[in-house]
Structure 1
Amino acid sequence: MDLDLRKVRYFVAVAELLHFGRAAEQLHIAQPVLSRQIRSLEKDLGAALFERDSHGVALTAVGRQLLDDARPLLASADAVRRRAHRAARGTRRFVVGFRAGVVVTHAVRAFGAAHPDVDVQARRVEWDDQEQLILDGTVDLAYVRRPIREQGLTLSPVCTEARVAMLPAEHRLSGKQELVLTDLDGETWLRYVDPRPDDVPIRTIEEKFERVAAGTGITLVPVSIAEQYSRPDITYVPVVDAEPDEVLLAWDASRRSPLITAFVAAAQG
Protein backbone atom coordinates (compact mmCIF):
# COMPACT_ATOMS: atom_id res chain seq x y z
CA MET A 1 0.00 0.00 0.00
CA ASP A 2 1.26 3.46 -0.96
CA LEU A 3 0.51 6.31 1.42
CA ASP A 4 -1.59 9.10 -0.06
CA LEU A 5 0.43 12.24 0.70
CA ARG A 6 -2.69 14.40 0.57
CA LYS A 7 -4.23 12.36 3.39
CA VAL A 8 -0.95 12.57 5.31
CA ARG A 9 -0.97 16.39 4.97
CA TYR A 10 -4.53 16.45 6.28
CA PHE A 11 -3.50 14.24 9.19
CA VAL A 12 -0.59 16.51 10.13
CA ALA A 13 -2.86 19.56 10.16
CA VAL A 14 -5.27 17.86 12.56
CA ALA A 15 -2.45 16.38 14.66
CA GLU A 16 -0.78 19.76 15.14
CA LEU A 17 -3.98 21.62 15.96
CA LEU A 18 -5.86 18.75 17.64
CA HIS A 19 -9.04 20.28 16.27
CA PHE A 20 -10.85 19.14 13.11
CA GLY A 21 -12.66 22.45 12.60
CA ARG A 22 -9.57 24.65 12.76
CA ALA A 23 -7.60 22.17 10.64
CA ALA A 24 -10.33 22.25 7.99
CA GLU A 25 -10.21 26.05 7.94
CA GLN A 26 -6.43 25.99 7.59
CA LEU A 27 -6.67 23.49 4.72
CA HIS A 28 -9.56 25.37 3.06
CA ILE A 29 -11.76 22.28 2.93
CA ALA A 30 -15.06 21.35 4.57
CA GLN A 31 -14.82 19.62 7.93
CA PRO A 32 -16.85 16.56 6.82
CA VAL A 33 -14.44 16.08 3.90
CA LEU A 34 -11.48 16.26 6.29
CA SER A 35 -13.08 13.74 8.65
CA ARG A 36 -13.69 11.31 5.77
CA GLN A 37 -10.09 11.63 4.61
CA ILE A 38 -8.77 10.91 8.11
CA ARG A 39 -11.04 7.88 8.46
CA SER A 40 -9.83 6.68 5.06
CA LEU A 41 -6.20 7.05 6.18
CA GLU A 42 -6.95 5.13 9.37
CA LYS A 43 -8.50 2.38 7.24
CA ASP A 44 -5.42 2.33 4.98
CA LEU A 45 -3.16 1.95 8.01
CA GLY A 46 -5.42 -0.41 9.90
CA ALA A 47 -5.17 1.65 13.07
CA ALA A 48 -6.84 4.57 14.81
CA LEU A 49 -4.84 7.80 14.71
CA PHE A 50 -6.99 9.91 17.03
CA GLU A 51 -8.97 9.37 20.16
CA ARG A 52 -12.20 11.34 19.95
CA ASP A 53 -14.45 12.07 22.89
CA SER A 54 -16.49 14.87 24.40
CA HIS A 55 -13.32 16.50 25.74
CA GLY A 56 -11.70 16.85 22.32
CA VAL A 57 -9.16 15.08 20.13
CA ALA A 58 -5.92 13.38 21.15
CA LEU A 59 -3.33 11.38 19.24
CA THR A 60 -3.08 7.64 19.76
CA ALA A 61 0.33 5.98 20.02
CA VAL A 62 0.08 5.19 16.30
CA GLY A 63 -0.84 8.80 15.61
CA ARG A 64 2.17 10.11 17.52
CA GLN A 65 4.46 7.79 15.55
CA LEU A 66 2.92 8.82 12.24
CA LEU A 67 3.32 12.49 13.11
CA ASP A 68 7.03 11.95 13.82
CA ASP A 69 7.44 10.18 10.47
CA ALA A 70 5.11 12.40 8.45
CA ARG A 71 6.95 15.69 8.84
CA PRO A 72 10.21 14.57 7.16
CA LEU A 73 8.17 12.58 4.60
CA LEU A 74 6.21 15.65 3.53
CA ALA A 75 9.32 17.83 3.59
CA SER A 76 11.05 15.33 1.29
CA ALA A 77 8.08 15.38 -1.09
CA ASP A 78 8.21 19.18 -1.16
CA ALA A 79 11.93 19.01 -1.88
CA VAL A 80 11.38 16.66 -4.84
CA ARG A 81 8.78 19.03 -6.25
CA ARG A 82 11.04 22.06 -5.77
CA ARG A 83 14.00 20.41 -7.49
CA ALA A 84 11.80 19.23 -10.36
CA HIS A 85 10.50 22.76 -10.93
CA ARG A 86 14.05 24.08 -10.83
CA ALA A 87 15.16 21.50 -13.41
CA ALA A 88 12.18 22.36 -15.62
CA ARG A 89 13.40 25.96 -15.73
CA GLY A 90 16.77 24.72 -16.94
CA THR A 91 18.58 25.89 -13.81
CA ARG A 92 21.18 23.62 -12.22
CA ARG A 93 21.54 25.22 -8.84
CA PHE A 94 23.20 24.10 -5.62
CA VAL A 95 22.35 25.96 -2.43
CA VAL A 96 24.61 25.75 0.62
CA GLY A 97 23.19 26.73 3.99
CA PHE A 98 25.37 28.05 6.80
CA ARG A 99 25.02 29.23 10.38
CA ALA A 100 26.35 32.58 11.54
CA GLY A 101 30.12 32.55 12.00
CA VAL A 102 30.74 29.67 9.59
CA VAL A 103 32.80 30.71 6.56
CA VAL A 104 31.86 28.72 3.46
CA THR A 105 33.79 30.72 0.86
CA HIS A 106 36.67 28.28 0.36
CA ALA A 107 34.45 25.23 -0.09
CA VAL A 108 31.99 27.08 -2.34
CA ARG A 109 34.83 28.31 -4.57
CA ALA A 110 36.45 24.88 -4.77
CA PHE A 111 33.15 23.22 -5.58
CA GLY A 112 32.23 25.91 -8.12
CA ALA A 113 35.59 25.58 -9.89
CA ALA A 114 35.04 21.83 -10.26
CA HIS A 115 31.42 22.31 -11.42
CA PRO A 116 31.32 25.44 -13.60
CA ASP A 117 27.90 24.46 -14.97
CA VAL A 118 26.31 24.68 -11.50
CA ASP A 119 25.03 27.93 -10.00
CA VAL A 120 26.30 27.72 -6.39
CA GLN A 121 24.61 29.97 -3.85
CA ALA A 122 24.92 30.39 -0.08
CA ARG A 123 22.03 31.03 2.29
CA ARG A 124 22.15 31.63 6.01
CA VAL A 125 20.09 29.33 8.23
CA GLU A 126 19.13 29.72 11.88
CA TRP A 127 18.90 27.31 14.81
CA ASP A 128 15.14 26.95 14.44
CA ASP A 129 14.97 26.27 10.71
CA GLN A 130 18.26 24.54 9.84
CA GLU A 131 16.70 21.05 9.68
CA GLN A 132 13.51 22.10 7.87
CA LEU A 133 15.33 24.02 5.12
CA ILE A 134 17.40 20.92 4.36
CA LEU A 135 14.49 18.49 4.38
CA ASP A 136 12.19 20.66 2.26
CA GLY A 137 14.88 21.26 -0.36
CA THR A 138 15.36 24.99 0.18
CA VAL A 139 19.06 24.24 0.68
CA ASP A 140 20.85 21.16 -0.67
CA LEU A 141 23.03 20.82 2.40
CA ALA A 142 24.04 23.06 5.27
CA TYR A 143 26.73 23.77 7.81
CA VAL A 144 24.82 23.37 11.06
CA ARG A 145 25.53 23.61 14.76
CA ARG A 146 24.28 21.46 17.59
CA PRO A 147 21.75 20.98 19.00
CA ILE A 148 20.13 19.55 15.88
CA ARG A 149 17.20 17.20 15.29
CA GLU A 150 18.91 14.37 13.43
CA GLN A 151 15.84 12.55 12.10
CA GLY A 152 15.99 12.26 8.31
CA LEU A 153 19.47 13.78 8.09
CA THR A 154 22.98 12.54 7.39
CA LEU A 155 25.59 14.37 9.46
CA SER A 156 29.30 14.68 8.81
CA PRO A 157 31.58 16.47 11.33
CA VAL A 158 33.54 19.43 10.01
CA CYS A 159 35.25 20.97 13.04
CA THR A 160 34.92 22.03 16.64
CA GLU A 161 35.74 25.45 17.98
CA ALA A 162 36.16 27.00 21.40
CA ARG A 163 33.44 29.14 22.89
CA VAL A 164 33.75 32.55 24.48
CA ALA A 165 31.53 34.53 26.83
CA MET A 166 29.69 37.42 25.19
CA LEU A 167 29.40 40.17 27.81
CA PRO A 168 28.32 43.82 27.93
CA ALA A 169 31.37 46.06 27.63
CA GLU A 170 30.87 47.36 31.19
CA HIS A 171 30.47 43.88 32.73
CA ARG A 172 32.48 43.12 35.87
CA LEU A 173 34.42 40.38 34.01
CA SER A 174 34.97 42.16 30.71
CA GLY A 175 38.63 42.92 31.41
CA LYS A 176 39.64 39.32 32.16
CA GLN A 177 42.03 37.41 29.91
CA GLU A 178 40.08 34.17 30.38
CA LEU A 179 37.32 32.68 32.51
CA VAL A 180 36.03 29.37 33.80
CA LEU A 181 32.35 28.53 33.96
CA THR A 182 32.18 29.00 37.73
CA ASP A 183 33.18 32.65 37.24
CA LEU A 184 29.79 33.07 35.57
CA ASP A 185 27.71 31.58 38.37
CA GLY A 186 24.69 33.72 39.14
CA GLU A 187 24.56 35.33 35.69
CA THR A 188 21.37 35.42 33.62
CA TRP A 189 21.89 33.22 30.56
CA LEU A 190 20.37 33.96 27.16
CA ARG A 191 19.48 30.91 25.09
CA TYR A 192 17.98 30.27 21.68
CA VAL A 193 15.92 27.33 22.91
CA ASP A 194 13.35 26.98 25.70
CA PRO A 195 12.61 30.66 26.38
CA ARG A 196 10.42 31.42 29.35
CA PRO A 197 6.71 31.68 28.40
CA ASP A 198 6.68 35.47 28.64
CA ASP A 199 9.93 35.95 26.69
CA VAL A 200 10.28 36.88 23.03
CA PRO A 201 12.30 33.98 21.54
CA ILE A 202 15.78 34.74 20.21
CA ARG A 203 16.28 33.66 16.58
CA THR A 204 19.50 35.29 15.40
CA ILE A 205 22.92 36.21 16.70
CA GLU A 206 22.08 39.87 16.07
CA GLU A 207 19.19 39.56 18.51
CA LYS A 208 21.59 38.11 21.08
CA PHE A 209 23.86 41.14 20.59
CA GLU A 210 21.00 43.47 21.40
CA ARG A 211 20.01 41.53 24.53
CA VAL A 212 23.60 41.36 25.80
CA ALA A 213 24.35 45.02 25.07
CA ALA A 214 21.17 45.99 26.92
CA GLY A 215 22.33 44.05 29.98
CA THR A 216 19.51 41.48 29.78
CA GLY A 217 21.91 38.56 30.09
CA ILE A 218 25.06 36.89 28.80
CA THR A 219 25.73 33.93 26.55
CA LEU A 220 28.45 31.69 25.13
CA VAL A 221 29.20 31.85 21.41
CA PRO A 222 31.69 30.12 19.11
CA VAL A 223 34.98 31.92 18.71
CA SER A 224 34.19 32.47 15.01
CA ILE A 225 31.35 34.77 16.05
CA ALA A 226 33.78 36.84 18.12
CA GLU A 227 36.17 37.03 15.17
CA GLN A 228 33.51 38.16 12.69
CA TYR A 229 31.31 40.42 14.80
CA SER A 230 32.78 43.34 16.71
CA ARG A 231 30.79 45.98 18.62
CA PRO A 232 32.04 48.62 21.06
CA ASP A 233 29.27 47.77 23.54
CA ILE A 234 30.09 44.04 23.64
CA THR A 235 33.21 42.18 24.73
CA TYR A 236 34.29 38.56 24.41
CA VAL A 237 36.29 36.57 26.96
CA PRO A 238 37.51 32.97 26.43
CA VAL A 239 35.93 30.37 28.75
CA VAL A 240 38.56 27.65 28.97
CA ASP A 241 36.35 24.85 30.32
CA ALA A 242 33.29 25.48 28.14
CA GLU A 243 32.19 22.57 25.95
CA PRO A 244 33.39 23.20 22.36
CA ASP A 245 30.89 24.11 19.66
CA GLU A 246 30.57 21.50 16.90
CA VAL A 247 30.01 22.34 13.23
CA LEU A 248 28.64 19.61 10.96
CA LEU A 249 27.55 19.24 7.36
CA ALA A 250 23.98 17.97 7.12
CA TRP A 251 21.89 16.80 4.18
CA ASP A 252 18.73 14.82 3.49
CA ALA A 253 19.52 11.17 4.21
CA SER A 254 17.17 10.02 1.44
CA ARG A 255 19.03 11.87 -1.32
CA ARG A 256 21.68 10.23 -3.47
CA SER A 257 23.24 13.23 -5.17
CA PRO A 258 26.72 13.30 -6.70
CA LEU A 259 26.76 17.07 -6.14
CA ILE A 260 26.30 16.60 -2.39
CA THR A 261 29.09 14.00 -2.37
CA ALA A 262 31.34 16.39 -4.30
CA PHE A 263 30.61 19.33 -2.00
CA VAL A 264 31.28 17.30 1.13
CA ALA A 265 34.63 16.28 -0.36
CA ALA A 266 35.45 19.89 -1.18
CA ALA A 267 34.44 21.07 2.32
CA GLN A 268 36.49 18.41 4.10
CA GLY A 269 39.42 18.66 1.73
Structure 2
Amino acid sequence: MTGAQDPPSFRLAYVPGVTPGKWVRIWNERLPDVPLTLLAVSAAEAPDVLRRGDADAGLVRLPVGGTDLSAIPLYAETSVVVVPKDHVVTAVDEVTAEDLADDVVLHPLDDLLDWERPPGRPAIERPATTADAVELVAAGVGLLVVPQSIARLHHRKDLTYRPVTDATESRVALSWPEDRTTDLVEDFIGIVRGRTANSSRGRSQPAADAGPKTAAAGKGTTRRGAAAGRTSGKNPRTGSGTSKGGKGAKGARGAKGGKPRRRS
Protein backbone atom coordinates (compact mmCIF):
# COMPACT_ATOMS: atom_id res chain seq x y z
CA MET A 1 0.00 0.00 0.00
CA THR A 2 1.42 3.32 -1.04
CA GLY A 3 1.50 6.26 1.27
CA ALA A 4 0.76 9.90 0.63
CA GLN A 5 2.09 11.51 -2.52
CA ASP A 6 5.74 12.55 -2.30
CA PRO A 7 6.19 16.23 -1.40
CA PRO A 8 7.33 18.46 -4.29
CA SER A 9 11.03 19.05 -4.88
CA PHE A 10 13.18 20.55 -7.63
CA ARG A 11 16.46 19.18 -9.01
CA LEU A 12 18.79 21.61 -10.73
CA ALA A 13 21.83 20.43 -12.67
CA TYR A 14 24.71 22.82 -13.26
CA VAL A 15 27.97 22.61 -15.21
CA PRO A 16 31.50 23.62 -14.12
CA GLY A 17 32.08 27.37 -13.98
CA VAL A 18 28.40 28.23 -13.43
CA THR A 19 27.48 29.53 -9.97
CA PRO A 20 23.76 29.07 -9.24
CA GLY A 21 23.96 30.43 -5.69
CA LYS A 22 22.03 33.67 -6.31
CA TRP A 23 19.09 31.90 -7.95
CA VAL A 24 19.05 29.13 -5.34
CA ARG A 25 18.89 31.75 -2.58
CA ILE A 26 15.89 33.44 -4.23
CA TRP A 27 14.21 30.05 -4.67
CA ASN A 28 14.60 29.25 -0.98
CA GLU A 29 13.12 32.63 -0.05
CA ARG A 30 10.10 32.25 -2.35
CA LEU A 31 9.43 28.52 -2.09
CA PRO A 32 10.69 27.50 1.36
CA ASP A 33 8.53 24.35 1.34
CA VAL A 34 10.02 23.04 -1.93
CA PRO A 35 13.61 21.85 -1.43
CA LEU A 36 16.02 22.49 -4.29
CA THR A 37 18.72 19.90 -4.88
CA LEU A 38 21.86 20.80 -6.85
CA LEU A 39 23.45 18.25 -9.16
CA ALA A 40 26.95 18.97 -10.50
CA VAL A 41 27.46 17.49 -13.99
CA SER A 42 29.97 17.91 -16.80
CA ALA A 43 29.06 20.13 -19.74
CA ALA A 44 29.06 17.11 -22.06
CA GLU A 45 26.68 15.00 -19.98
CA ALA A 46 24.24 17.78 -18.97
CA PRO A 47 21.81 17.37 -21.94
CA ASP A 48 21.47 13.61 -21.35
CA VAL A 49 20.94 14.18 -17.62
CA LEU A 50 17.93 16.35 -18.52
CA ARG A 51 16.62 13.91 -21.11
CA ARG A 52 16.77 11.00 -18.65
CA GLY A 53 14.83 13.00 -16.08
CA ASP A 54 17.66 12.99 -13.54
CA ALA A 55 17.17 16.75 -13.16
CA ASP A 56 14.16 19.01 -13.72
CA ALA A 57 16.25 21.78 -15.30
CA GLY A 58 19.88 22.65 -15.78
CA LEU A 59 22.29 25.54 -16.11
CA VAL A 60 24.18 24.35 -19.18
CA ARG A 61 26.49 25.53 -21.94
CA LEU A 62 25.09 25.93 -25.42
CA PRO A 63 24.51 24.25 -27.77
CA VAL A 64 22.51 21.45 -26.14
CA GLY A 65 21.67 19.69 -29.41
CA GLY A 66 18.29 18.39 -30.60
CA THR A 67 14.87 20.01 -30.46
CA ASP A 68 13.54 18.24 -27.37
CA LEU A 69 15.26 20.60 -24.94
CA SER A 70 14.10 24.16 -24.41
CA ALA A 71 16.75 26.75 -23.54
CA ILE A 72 16.78 30.35 -22.35
CA PRO A 73 20.19 32.01 -22.96
CA LEU A 74 21.36 33.80 -19.81
CA TYR A 75 24.78 35.27 -20.57
CA ALA A 76 27.94 34.84 -22.63
CA GLU A 77 31.38 34.45 -21.06
CA THR A 78 34.60 36.11 -22.10
CA SER A 79 37.24 33.62 -23.25
CA VAL A 80 40.73 33.88 -21.77
CA VAL A 81 44.11 32.30 -22.42
CA VAL A 82 45.68 30.53 -19.44
CA VAL A 83 49.46 31.02 -19.34
CA PRO A 84 52.40 30.63 -16.91
CA LYS A 85 53.01 33.79 -14.91
CA ASP A 86 56.35 34.38 -16.63
CA HIS A 87 54.89 34.16 -20.15
CA VAL A 88 55.28 37.15 -22.48
CA VAL A 89 51.47 37.43 -22.73
CA THR A 90 51.37 38.74 -19.15
CA ALA A 91 52.96 42.01 -20.34
CA VAL A 92 49.65 43.09 -21.97
CA ASP A 93 46.06 43.41 -20.76
CA GLU A 94 44.47 41.41 -23.59
CA VAL A 95 45.44 39.49 -26.73
CA THR A 96 43.97 38.30 -30.02
CA ALA A 97 43.98 34.81 -31.47
CA GLU A 98 46.67 35.94 -33.90
CA ASP A 99 48.93 36.81 -30.97
CA LEU A 100 48.89 33.10 -30.06
CA ALA A 101 49.81 31.88 -33.54
CA ASP A 102 53.34 30.80 -32.59
CA ASP A 103 52.34 29.08 -29.34
CA VAL A 104 51.11 25.53 -28.81
CA VAL A 105 47.49 25.93 -27.73
CA LEU A 106 46.00 22.85 -26.07
CA HIS A 107 42.60 21.66 -27.25
CA PRO A 108 41.21 19.18 -24.68
CA LEU A 109 38.61 16.60 -25.64
CA ASP A 110 36.09 18.29 -23.31
CA ASP A 111 36.74 21.76 -24.77
CA LEU A 112 33.86 24.12 -23.94
CA LEU A 113 34.40 26.50 -26.87
CA ASP A 114 32.78 25.78 -30.22
CA TRP A 115 35.83 26.57 -32.36
CA GLU A 116 35.65 26.77 -36.13
CA ARG A 117 39.46 26.71 -36.03
CA PRO A 118 41.31 26.75 -32.68
CA PRO A 119 44.11 29.34 -32.39
CA GLY A 120 47.81 28.58 -32.17
CA ARG A 121 49.70 25.43 -33.12
CA PRO A 122 48.08 22.10 -32.16
CA ALA A 123 49.71 19.83 -29.61
CA ILE A 124 50.87 16.36 -30.65
CA GLU A 125 48.10 14.86 -28.55
CA ARG A 126 44.87 16.35 -27.21
CA PRO A 127 44.52 16.25 -23.40
CA ALA A 128 41.57 14.21 -22.16
CA THR A 129 40.18 16.94 -19.90
CA THR A 130 40.49 20.65 -19.21
CA ALA A 131 42.01 19.81 -15.83
CA ASP A 132 44.73 17.80 -17.59
CA ALA A 133 45.35 20.71 -19.96
CA VAL A 134 45.80 23.10 -17.02
CA GLU A 135 48.47 20.79 -15.61
CA LEU A 136 50.26 20.82 -18.97
CA VAL A 137 50.17 24.63 -19.07
CA ALA A 138 51.79 24.69 -15.63
CA ALA A 139 54.46 22.31 -16.97
CA GLY A 140 55.21 24.69 -19.85
CA VAL A 141 53.85 22.38 -22.57
CA GLY A 142 51.39 24.89 -24.06
CA LEU A 143 48.63 27.43 -23.47
CA LEU A 144 44.89 26.94 -23.00
CA VAL A 145 41.87 29.06 -24.05
CA VAL A 146 38.78 28.58 -21.86
CA PRO A 147 35.77 30.54 -20.55
CA GLN A 148 36.87 32.92 -17.79
CA SER A 149 34.91 31.07 -15.10
CA ILE A 150 36.81 27.87 -15.94
CA ALA A 151 40.14 29.69 -15.60
CA ARG A 152 39.03 30.86 -12.15
CA LEU A 153 37.82 27.36 -11.25
CA HIS A 154 41.28 25.91 -12.03
CA HIS A 155 43.21 28.78 -10.45
CA ARG A 156 46.83 28.09 -9.56
CA LYS A 157 49.45 30.40 -8.06
CA ASP A 158 51.83 29.74 -10.93
CA LEU A 159 49.28 30.52 -13.67
CA THR A 160 47.34 33.58 -14.79
CA TYR A 161 45.14 34.51 -17.74
CA ARG A 162 44.36 37.29 -20.21
CA PRO A 163 41.20 37.94 -22.28
CA VAL A 164 41.27 36.88 -25.93
CA THR A 165 39.25 39.61 -27.61
CA ASP A 166 38.25 37.74 -30.77
CA ALA A 167 37.86 34.23 -29.36
CA THR A 168 34.64 32.25 -29.43
CA GLU A 169 32.42 32.95 -26.40
CA SER A 170 30.76 30.30 -24.26
CA ARG A 171 27.03 30.85 -23.77
CA VAL A 172 25.28 29.71 -20.60
CA ALA A 173 21.57 28.89 -20.65
CA LEU A 174 18.77 27.48 -18.53
CA SER A 175 17.53 24.31 -20.21
CA TRP A 176 14.84 21.71 -19.54
CA PRO A 177 12.90 19.01 -21.46
CA GLU A 178 10.23 20.77 -23.49
CA ASP A 179 7.59 18.15 -22.72
CA ARG A 180 8.20 18.49 -18.97
CA THR A 181 7.65 22.21 -18.46
CA THR A 182 6.19 21.87 -14.98
CA ASP A 183 4.93 24.58 -12.64
CA LEU A 184 8.20 24.38 -10.70
CA VAL A 185 10.20 24.81 -13.91
CA GLU A 186 8.10 27.89 -14.65
CA ASP A 187 8.88 29.17 -11.17
CA PHE A 188 12.62 28.83 -11.77
CA ILE A 189 12.30 30.47 -15.19
CA GLY A 190 10.69 33.43 -13.44
CA ILE A 191 13.60 33.64 -11.01
CA VAL A 192 16.37 33.61 -13.62
CA ARG A 193 14.46 36.15 -15.70
CA GLY A 194 14.28 38.51 -12.74
CA ARG A 195 10.54 38.48 -12.17
CA THR A 196 9.25 39.72 -8.87
CA ALA A 197 7.90 37.34 -6.22
CA ASN A 198 4.30 38.09 -7.21
CA SER A 199 4.73 37.79 -10.96
CA SER A 200 6.84 34.64 -10.75
CA ARG A 201 3.74 32.77 -9.62
CA GLY A 202 1.90 33.90 -12.76
CA ARG A 203 3.36 31.02 -14.70
CA SER A 204 1.39 31.76 -17.85
CA GLN A 205 3.23 35.08 -18.34
CA PRO A 206 5.83 34.54 -21.07
CA ALA A 207 7.45 37.97 -21.03
CA ALA A 208 10.60 38.34 -18.95
CA ASP A 209 9.66 41.88 -17.94
CA ALA A 210 6.05 41.18 -16.98
CA GLY A 211 6.85 41.63 -13.27
CA PRO A 212 8.60 45.02 -13.52
CA LYS A 213 5.86 46.39 -15.79
CA THR A 214 3.19 45.36 -13.31
CA ALA A 215 5.09 47.01 -10.48
CA ALA A 216 5.59 50.18 -12.49
CA ALA A 217 1.89 50.40 -13.30
CA GLY A 218 1.00 50.33 -9.63
CA LYS A 219 3.47 53.04 -8.63
CA GLY A 220 1.88 56.43 -8.01
CA THR A 221 -0.72 57.61 -10.56
CA THR A 222 -1.59 55.01 -13.18
CA ARG A 223 -1.32 55.89 -16.85
CA ARG A 224 -5.05 55.67 -17.26
CA GLY A 225 -5.59 57.87 -14.23
CA ALA A 226 -3.07 60.42 -15.46
CA ALA A 227 -4.74 60.48 -18.86
CA ALA A 228 -8.11 61.04 -17.22
CA GLY A 229 -6.66 63.94 -15.28
CA ARG A 230 -5.37 65.55 -18.45
CA THR A 231 -8.73 65.08 -20.21
CA SER A 232 -10.72 66.64 -17.42
CA GLY A 233 -8.29 69.55 -17.08
CA LYS A 234 -7.51 68.65 -13.48
CA ASN A 235 -4.11 68.52 -11.97
CA PRO A 236 -3.60 64.83 -10.96
CA ARG A 237 -1.76 65.93 -7.79
CA THR A 238 -4.08 68.66 -6.47
CA GLY A 239 -7.34 67.89 -8.31
CA SER A 240 -7.74 71.61 -9.06
CA GLY A 241 -8.87 72.69 -12.51
CA THR A 242 -6.49 74.61 -14.76
CA SER A 243 -7.20 76.10 -18.13
CA LYS A 244 -4.74 75.67 -20.98
CA GLY A 245 -2.35 78.59 -20.88
CA GLY A 246 -3.87 79.83 -17.60
CA LYS A 247 -2.10 80.76 -14.38
CA GLY A 248 -2.31 77.23 -13.07
CA ALA A 249 -0.46 75.83 -16.09
CA LYS A 250 2.16 78.56 -15.79
CA GLY A 251 2.60 77.79 -12.12
CA ALA A 252 3.11 74.06 -12.87
CA ARG A 253 5.99 74.95 -15.19
CA GLY A 254 7.63 77.03 -12.50
CA ALA A 255 8.51 80.68 -12.22
CA LYS A 256 11.45 80.32 -14.62
CA GLY A 257 9.44 78.69 -17.35
CA GLY A 258 11.00 75.23 -16.90
CA LYS A 259 9.27 72.07 -18.09
CA PRO A 260 6.97 70.27 -15.63
CA ARG A 261 8.50 67.23 -13.98
CA ARG A 262 7.03 64.02 -15.29
CA ARG A 263 5.89 61.51 -12.74
CA SER A 264 7.28 58.05 -13.11
Provide the rounded CA distance (Å) in 1 between the counterparts of 2:96 and 2:131. 25
Shift of residue 136, structure 1, vs aligned partner: 0.9
* Letter of the 2:109 counterpart: Y
* Letter of the 1:169 counterpart: K
Corresponding residue for 2:174? 249
Provide the rounded CA distance (Å) in 1 between the counterparts of 2:106 and 2:58. 27
Counterpart among 182, 187, 201 of residue 128 in structure 2: 201
Provide the rounded CA distance (Å) in 1 between the counterparts of 2:124 and 2:52. 29
Q: 1:262 and 2:187 equivalent?
A: yes
Corresponding residue for 2:82? 166
Q: Could you report, residue by residue, the CA deviation over 1:46-87 in whole angstroms, capped at 9, with x for unpaired residues?
A: xxxxxxxxxxxxxxxxxxxxxxxxxxxxxxxxxxxxxxx9x9
Please, what TM-score do these two structures have when normalized by structure 2?
0.61
Give RMSD over aligned pairs. Answer: 2.9
Corresponding residue for 1:189? 106
Greater CA radius of gyration, 1 or 2?
2
Find the residue that maps to 1:230 and give its secondary structure.
coil
- CA separation of 1:241 and 1:151: change in aligned 2, threshold 3 A: same
Q: Could you report, residue by residue, the CA deviation over 1:104-155 in whole angstroms, capped at 9, with x for unpaired residues?
A: 1111111122111211121222122011111111221111113432342101
Are the aligned partners of 1:127 and 1:192 in contact in 2 as well (CA < 8 Å)? no
Corresponding residue for 1:219? 144
Q: Could you report, residue by residue, the CA deviation over 1:247-269 in whole angstroms, capped at 9, with x for unpaired residues?
A: 11111111130101110110121
Please, what TM-score do these two structures have when normalized by structure 1?
0.60
Q: 1:143 and 2:70 equivalent?
A: no
Provide the rounded CA distance (Å) in 1 between the counterparts of 2:20 and 2:184. 16
Provide the rounded CA distance (Å) in 1 between the counterparts of 2:4 and 2:110. 39
Counterpart among 228, 232, 236 of residue 161 in structure 2: 236
Provide the rounded CA distance (Å) in 2 between the counterparts of 1:237 and 1:163. 9
Runs (5+) with no aligned partner, structure 1: 1-84
Corresponding residue for 2:261? none
- CA separation of 1:231 and 1:164: change in aligned 2, threshold 3 A: same
Find the residue that maps to 1:173 and give its secondary structure.
helix
* Letter of the 1:177 counterpart: D
Are the aligned partners of 2:95 and 2:162 in contact in 1 as well (CA < 8 Å)? yes
Alignment of 1:77-96 (within 5 A): 90-96=6-12
- CA separation of 1:144 and 1:91: change in aligned 2, threshold 3 A: same
Shift of residue 198, structure 1, vs aligned partner: 6.7
Shift of residue 219, structure 1, vs aligned partner: 2.1
Are the aligned partners of 2:81 and 2:144 in contact in 1 as well (CA < 8 Å)? yes
* Letter of the 2:106 counterpart: W
- CA separation of 1:253 and 1:174: change in aligned 2, threshold 3 A: same
Equivalent residues, number:
182
Provide the rounded CA distance (Å) in 2 between the counterparts of 1:174 and 1:88. 62
Find the residue that maps to 1:232 and give its secondary structure.
coil
- CA separation of 1:160 and 1:207: change in aligned 2, threshold 3 A: same
Runs (5+) with no aligned partner, structure 2: 112-121, 195-264
* Letter of the 2:160 counterpart: T
Find the residue that maps to 1:254 and give its secondary structure.
helix
Q: Give the percent of matched residue pairs that are identical in Structure 1 and Structure 2.
A: 29
More helix by share: 1
